[in-house]
């Protein structure tokens, strides 16, 4: 049998593993969920032992579903929830604190204080492409070092990593401490143009350089499996990318101007801007899309913190639906939201607003409002947030979008995608397989291990399944956007 690719997609609520052939056929798939921890309002944590356990379960089950043995694997690709921050003891490999998740807002006040120094904030943005926000890793690292007794004093014995780095460390039995350049670009500690850790940024955020991993490319062999009970020794770990960059790659967005949006727990829109790190003037961030060989490709990115999580809130918080998949049928019971607008700022507003104090807001409720109206307004609220991101991208790039490629769990919702196409006046393309994140990790691993030839070879693995085309008039589009902007104004913090 030809060598197969294993993709490990370590996400916010669970881990998915795919076993994929080098021509893009998925042979096996499995997902293992793990608990979330919310110790205080606005705080989100994961137990690293739960994450590692979910990886073992998902990989073992995916191989079983593919009916193949692990020794058929030619390479492993890892993609991960970005910005989620861990520190562990180098000798034992044991974390010194729960992982602080990307959604966590515990360091928001620290970021507010840093941003008050406008020159400092502009300098950080110019060097990193990012804004100073609790979303990113740097202030999370500092928080753990300050919160765990004695951690700063023994920093040279500790290792920092985002989840990709933690998994590489575990898969190699501690032999490799590395992170790929896409994840490094999300820490507020890397010089975007140089692709290196920056000592001035480390000083600003009070991070000892000794805890930082080695920065590697997105497609290269960084190590091999060793001492892992559920996988044989010697499998190359050859592809790594943060989840959104992996999805951009998995959608074959290889040309400048190609754009995708992943509808997951949050919504993340990225557009390929080529080999130069263009800084946004419209509230977006600039990030590394990937590095293949010696070539670094950059992207503009906008993140809405709450997308699919808003549907989960309807299910778990309000009990309007029993499963997330029921929302489309409920929303289709009405022809419109009847003026109801839901701003799902349940964890503040991300790009392009960057308002951590914003709160979820529902406006336009009348005596005639039903659960169906609220369901439809929730889907529309997701699309409105993405439309804000796409509008900012158009303004930064100075041109329109030819198409938007989509993936993620919520992209299975036809009503959401048609409204997105109508609202944003762009064709929306959904692939045959919507797990572009995991497939992107597999594609990078195939490249890194030499099992795939080049980007043209890789691009054949991405196949479009359905296309949604816009139907709104410009007048209708303007009316919808005005209603949304009014709702966002009500949701914004007043501080």
- φ, ψ dihedrals at 267, nearest 5°: -120, 130
User: For residues 417 and 379, what is the distance between their CA atoms, to the nearest angstrom?
Assistant: 9
Residues for the chain: how many in total?
Answer: 495
In a domain, 271, yes or no: no
Closest alpha carbon to 412 in 322, 329, 313: 329
Q: What is the pLDDT of residue 2?
A: 64
Asked if residue 76 belongs to a domain, the reply is yes
Instruction: Decide if pLDDT at 377 tops 70.
Output: yes
Region 431-456: what's the mean pLDDT? 88
Does residue 100 form part of some domain?
yes
Q: Stretch 13-29: mean pLDDT, rounded?
A: 92
Tens of pLDDT along 411-429? 999 999 999 999 999 999 9
Instruction: Give the separation between CA 135 and CA 177, rounded to whole angstroms.
Output: 23
Res. 493 pLDDT band, cuts 50 70 90: confident
Q: What is the pLDDT of residues 42-70, one digit of tens each?
A: 899 999 999 999 999 999 999 999 999 99
Distance of CA 283 to the CA centre of its chain: 18
Q: Please report, for residues 142, 186, 493, the alpha-carbon distance to residue 132 in angstroms, rounded to integers and kept in the order given.
A: 14, 11, 18
Query: What CATH number is attached to the domain comprising 210?
Result: 3.30.420.40
pLDDT in tens, 88-131: 999 999 999 999 998 898 999 999 999 999 999 999 999 999 98
Three-class DSSP category at 18: strand
pLDDT reported for residue 455: 78
Residue 1 pLDDT greater than 60, yes or no: no
How far apart CA 223 and CA 374 sit, in angstroms, is 49
Omega within 30 of 0 (cis) for the link into 289: no
Shortest CA distance to 32 belongs to which of 48, 47, 52? Answer: 52
* Cα–Cα distance measured from residue 437 to residue 396, given in angstroms and rounded to the nearest whole number: 25
Cβ atoms within 10 A of the Cβ of 316, count? Answer: 11
* Higher pLDDT, residue 348 or 379: 379
Measured between alpha carbons, how far is 489 from 360 in angstroms, rounded to an integer?
11
pLDDT confidence band for 495 (50 / 70 / 90)? low
Q: Read off the pLDDT of each residue in 439-454 and give the average, rounded to a whole number.
A: 91
Task: Bin 50: left if φ > 0, else alpha if -120 < ψ < 50, else beta.
Answer: alpha
Q: What percent of the chain has pLDDT over 70?
A: 99
Q: Is residue 470 part of a domain?
A: no
Angle at which helices 163-171 and 48-66 pack, to 10 degrees?
70
Interatomic CA distance for residues 31 and 50, integer angstroms? 13
Residue 63 phi/psi, 5-degree rounding, is -65, -40
Instruction: For residue 79, tell me if it sits in a domain.
Output: yes
Supply the pLDDT for residue 494.
67
- Greatest CA span in the chain, whole angstroms? 64
**What is the rounded CA–CA span in Å between residue 314 and residue 378?**
9
Count the neighbouring beta carbons within 10 Å of the beta carbon of residue 194.
Answer: 9
Span 181-197, pLDDT tens digits: 999 999 999 999 999 99
Q: Is 128 left (phi over 0), alpha (psi -120 to 50) or beta?
A: alpha
What pLDDT digit, counting tens, does each position of 124-147 carry? 999 999 989 898 999 999 999 999
For residue 470, the SS3 value is: coil
| pLDDT tens digits along 201-214 | 999 999 999 999 99
Burial class (CB in 10 A: 0-12, 13-18, 19+), 178: buried
pLDDT in tens, 305-323: 889 889 999 999 999 999 8
C-beta neighbour count of 341 within 10 angstroms: 23
User: Is residue 133 assigned to a domain?
Assistant: yes
Q: What are phi and psi of 422, to 5 degrees?
A: -60, -50
| Nearest residue to 445 via CA among 73, 87, 155, 56 | 73
Per-residue 3-state assignment (H helix, E strand, C coil) for 418-433: HHHHHHHCCCEEEECC
Residue 78 lies in a domain: yes
Q: Quote the CA–CA distance of 152 and 157 in Å, as a whole number.
A: 10
Going from the C-alpha of 450 to that of each of 18, 242, 453, the distances in angstroms are 19, 21, 7
**213-249, pLDDT tens digit by residue?**
999 999 999 999 999 989 999 999 999 999 999 999 9
Total domain count, the chain: 1
Output phi, psi for 245, to 5 deg.
-65, -40
Average pLDDT of the chain is: 92
Question: What are the helix (H) ranges across 24-148?
Answer: 48-66, 108-115, 118-128, 138-147
Contact 444, 218 (CB under 8 A): yes
Q: Is residue 282 part of a domain?
A: no
Phi-psi map region of 364: left, alpha, beta (phi>0 left; psi -120 to 50 alpha):
left
Which of 260, 269, 357, 347 lies closest to 312, judged by CA? Answer: 347
Predicted confidence band at 75 (pLDDT cuts at 50, 70, 90)?
A: very high
**Residue 479 to residue 339: CA distance in whole angstroms:** 11
- Helix ranges restricted to H, 42-117: 48-66, 108-115
The pLDDT tens digits for 76-86 are 999 999 999 99
According to DSSP, the residues that pair with 407 across neighbouring strands are 262
pLDDT above 60 (res 436): yes
Q: Is the separation of the CB atoms in 260 and 253 below 8 Å?
A: yes
pLDDT tens for each residue of 150-184:
999 999 999 999 999 999 999 999 999 999 999 99
pLDDT of 456 higher than 70: yes
Coil, strand or helix: which one is 21?
coil
- 165: containing domain: 4-244
The strand pair at 341-343 and 361-363 is best described as antiparallel
Please name the helix (run of DSSP H) or strand (run of DSSP E) that holds residue 87, with its range, or none.
strand 86-89
Q: What is the CA radius of gyration of the chain?
A: 21
Residue 431 has pLDDT above 60, yes or no: yes
Q: Which tens digit of pLDDT belongs to each residue from 246-303?
A: 999 999 999 888 899 999 888 999 999 999 988 888 889 899 999 998 899 999 999 8
320 CB neighbour count, 10 Å cutoff: 18
């Amino acid at each position: 049998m030809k060598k197969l690719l294993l993709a490990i997609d370590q996400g916010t609520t669970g881990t998915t593993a795919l076993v994929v052939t080098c021509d893009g056929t998925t042979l096996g798939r499995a997902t293992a969920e793990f608990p979330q921890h919310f110790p205080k309002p606005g705080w989100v944590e994961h137990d690293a032992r739960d994450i590692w356990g979910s990886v073992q379960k998902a990989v073992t089950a995916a191989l079983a579903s593919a009916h193949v043995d692990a020794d058929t694997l030619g390479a492993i690709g890892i993609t991960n929830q970005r910005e989620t921050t861990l520190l562990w003891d180098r000798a034992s490999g044991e974390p010194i604190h729960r992982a602080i998740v990307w959604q966590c807002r515990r360091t928001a006040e620290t970021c507010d204080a840093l941003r008050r120094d406008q020159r400092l904030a502009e300098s950080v943005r110019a060097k990193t492409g990012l804004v100073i926000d609790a979303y990113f890793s740097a202030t999370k690292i500092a928080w753990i070092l300050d919160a765990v007794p004695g951690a700063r004093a023994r920093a040279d014995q500790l290792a920092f990593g985002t989840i990709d780095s933690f998994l590489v460390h575990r898969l190699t039995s501690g032999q490799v401490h590395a992170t790929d350049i896409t994840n490094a670009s999300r820490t507020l500690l890397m010089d975007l143009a140089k692709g290196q850790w920056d000592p001035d940024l480390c000083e600003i955020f009070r991070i000892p350089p000794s805890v930082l991993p080695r920065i590697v490319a997105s497609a290269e062999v960084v190590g091999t499996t060793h001492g892992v009970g559920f996988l044989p020794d010697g499998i190359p770990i050859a592809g790594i990318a943060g989840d959104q960059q992996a999805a951009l790659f998995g959608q074959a967005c290889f040309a400048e101007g190609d754009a995708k949006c992943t509808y997951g727990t949050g919504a993340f829109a990225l557009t390929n801007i080529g080999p130069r790190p263009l800084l946004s003037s419209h509230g977006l961030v600039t990030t590394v899309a990937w590095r293949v060989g010696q070539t670094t490709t950059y992207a503009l990115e906008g993140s809405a913190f709450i997308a699919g999580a808003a549907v989960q809130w309807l299910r778990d918080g309000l009990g309007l639906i029993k499963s997330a998949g029921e929302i489309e049928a409920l929303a289709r019971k009405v022809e419109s939201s009847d003026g109801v607008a839901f701003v799902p700022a349940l964890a503040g507003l991300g790009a392009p607003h960057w308002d951590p104090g914003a709160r979820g807001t529902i406006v336009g409720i009348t005596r005639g409002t039903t659960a169906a109206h609220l369901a439809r307004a929730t889907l529309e609220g997701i699309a409105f947030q993405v439309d804000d991101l796409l509008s900012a991208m158009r303004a930064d790039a100075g041109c329109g979008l030819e198409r938007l490629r989509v993936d993620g769990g919520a992209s299975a919702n036809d009503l959401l995608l048609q409204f997105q196409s109508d609202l944003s006046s762009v064709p929306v393309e959904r692939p045959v397989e919507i797990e572009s994140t995991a497939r992107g990790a597999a594609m990078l691993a195939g490249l890194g291990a030499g099992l795939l030839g080049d980007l043209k070879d890789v691009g054949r693995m991405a196949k479009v399944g359905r296309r949604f085309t816009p139907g709104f008039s410009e007048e209708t589009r303007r009316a919808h956007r005005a209603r949304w902007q009014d709702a966002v104004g009500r949701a914004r913090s007043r501080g």
